[in-house]
Structure 1
Amino acid sequence: MEKGELSRFTLRVPVDLLVELKVLAARSRRSLNNQLILMLEAAVTSEQNEKSGTTA
């Protein structure tokens, strides 16, 4: 995905999930924001590959 202008939005998540996401980010030495972007991009790519019948 292209890195361009970023957009802000509010996301409500369960507290337990937020804690787990923060731990994952810290382990990878990433900000929570960068961790979420990485995970969302991977999920979108996976979904696109699944729909097109390709594997990455």
Structure 2
Amino acid sequence: MDLMQGIAATATSLFAAQFQESYSIAVSKKAMDTQELAAQSMLEMLAQQPAPAKGAYIDTYA
């Protein structure tokens, strides 16, 4: 009977590890999707800004 308990404990531990890995991947994917949407909205805001006029910046390091 001790062998069966060991197998059951191992199977339970394996399932818990697989569940934890799946959960971690899902949370990471959700965070990546959120960051992608934030980056897209920032790029849209940058596209709306007019380009500076030529000669608007002076290179003081030259």
Is the TM value for this pair above 0.5?
A: no
Work out which of the two has the higher radius of gyration on C-alpha atoms and give 1 or 2: 2
TM-score (structure 2 length as normaliser): 0.37
Structure of greater relative contact order (alpha carbons < 8 Å, 6+ residues apart): 1
Q: TM-score, normalised by structure 1?
A: 0.41
Flag the structure with higher helix content.
2
